[in-house]
Amino acid sequence: MNLIYGIKDKPGFGKTVLFALQQLLAIMAATIAVPAIVGHGLTASAALFGAGVGTFVYLVFTKSSSPVFLGSSFAFIGSMFSAFAGAETLGLAQAAGYWGLIIGALMAGIVYIVIALVVKFCGVKWIDRLMPPVIIGPTVAIIGLSLSGNAVGDLMKSSVEGGSTYVALICGLFTLAVTMLCSTYGKKVGKLIPFIIGIFAGYVLASLFALIGKLTGNASLTVINYSALTSLDFTSFSGYISLPKFTFLLGGTEGLKAVTGKYLLTLFTAYVPVAFVVFAEHLADHKNLSAIVGTNLLEEPGLTRTLLGDGVGTMISTAFGGCPNTTYGESIGCVAITRNASTVSIWGCASICIIFSLISPLVALLETIPSCVMGGVCVALYGFIAVSGFKMFQQVDLNKNKNLFVASVIFITGVGGMVVRFGAVEIRTVACALILGILTNIMLSGEKDE
């Protein structure tokens, strides 16, 4: 891929701000969705703050050589639920649950560090043998395809109860159309920020439908929810600036004292197995990103550094936002579509995340972006991830039965949405597909060339 801005390029200040905002819009919905799903007092503002800090850590460890944002990980949602459920089962206060999130992320981070040390001393060639292109290509494609249901669901979802599905679909498809047109036919900066323009256009259209609905008394035309803005108290300082509810503050010293040995065992079983699974996703993401930027990130800055950045970033970010982090496919898709791989943009996005998390109206404004509008841009983002996987798959010889079986297993289990649960531990779709692909490849490794 011909990049407009390479990894070490430094766009001007104005462009950098726009690129950073675009990255923010790409990752924002998923980042704040995790705390919303888990609940228990976790907030969007704290998640944004934690993601920004975690990305800073990642960029430092990778010597600012890997252009991807770290956001809230969906893979650990089951683990996070287990942290609170385990505390409740053992009769501990909810405050202990917050420390459970932090300790669990610490355990997951240690797994990353151990694997990073193995890579440091044993190299990465064993990984290339374990996961050749016949495995990585389809797995990367599955990362995008497995998210397709989320994109389509959001595309047709109103953010207001009673809102018309058809109105939501119109707004979502309009957002997608504007994004595609800007990316394909845009000039200069317009070509580089298609998501900002697309989301803005979709937001305006949704607002126009809401206005018409209010004037005509037709509530079904309203698919945008402004409650996050209207509920702000602008008569007080907190209506403008407020400190997020950091996880370590929610837990407090009482919560930390309530942690027991049995609870630590619960956290270990909930987080550590998932960490090994997320390692596979980490590897697939960086293989995908390497193909996009034209640099083998497993060699430079190296898998050791990316793992350390991801692991330590997860430890630190969870203390603030409660959510373990992971490299985001939405961020990678944004790099692919805009052809902007400058890590300066990622630094900017992380900075804006932290700043926005402290400004109440800005957090509220982001929360009002309709689901259908975000669904429109995610159709493009997730699609690009899938297509990049298919491009990696092109170098595979499909005349070999082994390759046919390996790819078939990955695609069918991945598209079929296979999920395996062992108690509180959940192995998600991408990880299931990857693990079965690796086992199939090992089992059939004795096939000889004809």
State which H helix or E strand residue 131 sits in: none
Cis peptide before 370 (omega within 30 of 0): no
Structure tokens at 71: 């956001």
**Strand bridging mode 70-72 / 425-427:** unpaired
Torsions phi, psi of 134, nearest 5? -65, -20
pLDDT of 313: 94
Residues of the chain with pLDDT under 70: 1, 37, 188-189, 277, 423-428, 447-450
Q: Which of 333, 417, 341 is nearest to 382 (CA)?
A: 333
Torsions phi, psi of 416, nearest 5? -70, -10
Q: Which of 33, 146, 45 is nearest to 80 (CA)?
A: 33
Count structural domains, the chain.
Answer: 1
Residue 394 lies in a domain: no
CB 77 within 8 A of CB 424: no
Residue 51 lies in a domain: yes
Residue 92's identity, in one-letter code, is: L
Residue 58 lies in a domain: yes
Residue 393 lies in a domain: no
Compute the distance between CA of residue 68 and CA of residue 143 in angstroms, rounded to an integer.
16
pLDDT of 75: 74
pLDDT of 447: 61
Q: What is the pTM of this model?
A: 0.76
Compute the distance between CA of residue 395 and CA of residue 387 in angstroms, rounded to an integer.
14
Give residues with Cβ within 8 angstroms of 17, minimum separation 6. 348
SS3 437: helix
Residue 20 lies in a domain: yes
Residue 372 lies in a domain: yes
Residue 124 lies in a domain: yes
Compute the distance between CA of residue 217 and CA of residue 224 in angstroms, rounded to an integer.
15
Residue range 262-305, pLDDT digits in tens: 899 888 877 887 787 678 778 888 988 998 999 999 889 999 99
Give the CA-trace dihedral at 273, 278, 283, 284, to 10 degrees: 130
Residue range 348-398, pLDDT digits in tens: 999 999 999 999 898 888 888 898 998 898 888 788 878 878 887 777 888
pLDDT of 38: 81
Residue 4 lies in a domain: no
Structure tokens at 280: 């596979």
Torsions phi, psi of 420, nearest 5? -120, 135
Q: Which domain holds residue 230?
A: 13-129+147-386
